[in-house]
Chains A and B, each alone.
Chain A
Amino acid sequence: DIQMTQSPSSLSASVGDRVTITCRASQSVRRYLNWYQQKPGKAPRLLIFGASNLQDWVPSRFSGGASGTDFTLTINNLQPEDFATYYCQQSFDNPTFGQGTKVEI
């Protein structure tokens, strides 16, 4: 199985901050890397697919990057509605998820 290592597991930030979350794959997943946002008591929602493609509902302050087996999710100008848990997931092989990053105030 492909292991996904996500960091940090949690972070504290303020409205207006820039936040970066990192995800590393144990082997190449090409660009089959996706990011999800989950709020308490809700199902995850697809945020970014193919490493850098934003879903229609996602504001442009979100961006995804890739370099080899390292992937990043960046949120610029953090807004109150962005406080949530974020997961990376590879879809190159049988899906595996990162451990999640809780973004809190």
Chain B
Amino acid sequence: QVQLEQSGAEVKKPGASVKVSCKASGYAFTKYGITWVRQAPGQGLEWMGWISTYNGNANYPEKMQGRVTMTRETSTSTIYMEVRSLRSDDTAVYYCARRGGDATEDALDIWGEGTLVVVSS
């Protein structure tokens, strides 16, 4: 079935980097873009950026520019998101989600289970 499988929880110290993976299966990988969304404890959803799995082009919100990089590996249908210079307020569950494209007005129709990243000294 169509699914996104994410890597496991991480604990990092402030200033470190984290790289989270998201492996897609059950559909044509390069046909749909992938968005990353995070959710701090008890908070709402925040867009972290998205990547075209077709050509690797990525787009990030201004507040994350320079600290986040999204890449993809077409041979394994895997997307990666790296966040650098981690701060305590980066503590959150990070989700990857598939952009459904024209069929769903670009809604996020498939979600990974989430990866908890804890930033603590």
Binding site for B on A (CB under 8 A): 1, 31-32, 34, 36, 43-46, 49-50, 53, 55, 87, 89, 91, 94-100
Contact = CB atoms under 8 A, between A and B. Distances in A.
B56 interface: no
A94 to B, nearest CB: 7
A45 B35 contact: no
A32 B112 CA distance: 22
Interface of B: 35, 37, 44-47, 50, 59, 61, 95, 97, 99-100, 104-109, 111-114
Given A43-B95, A43-B114, A44-B95, A97 B104 contact: no
Contact of A43 (B100, B104, B111): B111
Contacts of A50: 104-105, 107
Given A43-B112, A43-B114, A87 B45 contact: yes
Contacts of A99: 44
B88 to A, nearest CB: 22
Contacts of A34: 104-105, 107-108
A55 to B, nearest CB: 7
B35 A100 contact: no
A100 B107 contact: no
A94 B100 CA distance: 14
Contact of A44 (B45, B61, B99): B45
Contact of A46 (B46, B59, B104): B104
A19 to B, nearest CB: 19
Contacts of A1: 61
Given A43-B112, A43-B113, A43-B114, A96 B107 contact: no
Contacts of B112: 43
Contact of A49 (B44, B46, B107, B113): B107
